[in-house]
Amino acid sequence: MNTYARFAVAAVAVIAIGYVGLMLLGPGRASVGAAPNAIPSATASPAPPTPTVTPTGTPVAPSSPGHSAPPLTGQFTSDRNGFAIAYPETWSVRAATAPWTSGFVDFMHPGGDVLYDASIPGDLFLTVASQPLTHLPSRWEADIWQIVAEDDPATADCSSTAQPVMVDGSTGARCGHITLVTSGGRGYFVMLYTSGDEAWIGDVYDDAWYASVLATMKLHPEDAVDEAASPSPS
């Protein structure tokens, strides 16, 4: 056989062997290597529950007296001293029983109208009193500041350090939590007292709270009564 013929026979043999191999492998087996197995997707683990924090300490009840000032929803009108003023309606009121003719108007003065927190009556209260002017308003104010200083030496400078304040359209003088104002020939004394025994009282019933009360005050000097109450008939 010549060279060409040998190459032809060899080529035919290779083709035949390849054909037989394809038949043995069958369809789909001609690919090299097996198909990789699918990688299962990872399952996300649930997040651990958030731990519950238990609060420590005892919370202050919103209704605890002294920790917040009640609203000024009450209205008091004094027939004797000639004024009207707003105050916390949860407070108590003791009306004046006599004219204010002299002295410092404290909690027990009969000439003062007293509005107070009944749960701590001696530690938190407002007193208001008035009297007719017997001389110029400036002289009256100086006399009252002197009376105030005699009761509380810490207020000795009020006559010179008091700041102007408006009460129902009338100009007065305020020193700390004491206000003096004149209107219609009458002098008014308005004091907020807060005890130092408990710090929260002064913190809650502060300058701003006192100013908010003064802003509600209406002066009615024409309605005031300066005579002592007539004794009841026996």
Burial 102-128 (b: 16+ CB within 10 A, else e): eebbeeebebbbbbbbeebeebbbbbb
What SS3 state is found at 213? Answer: helix
Token pair 């919103």 is at which residue?
Answer: 62
Domain at 74-223, CATH from 3.30.460.10, 3.30.450.40, 3.40.1000.10, 3.40.50.2300: 3.40.1000.10
- Check residue 112 and give left, alpha or beta (phi > 0: left; psi -120 to 50: alpha): beta
Mean per-residue pLDDT for 164-192?
98
Q: What is the DSSP letter of 198?
A: S
pLDDT in tens, 96-124: 999 999 999 999 999 999 999 999 999 99
Domain ranges of the chain: 74-223
153-177: pLDDT as tens digits: 999 999 999 999 999 999 999 999 9
pLDDT band at residue 46 under the 50/70/90 scheme: low
3-state helix, strand, coil in the chain (%, to 5): 25, 25, 50
Query: Tokens in use for 65?
Result: 């007296």
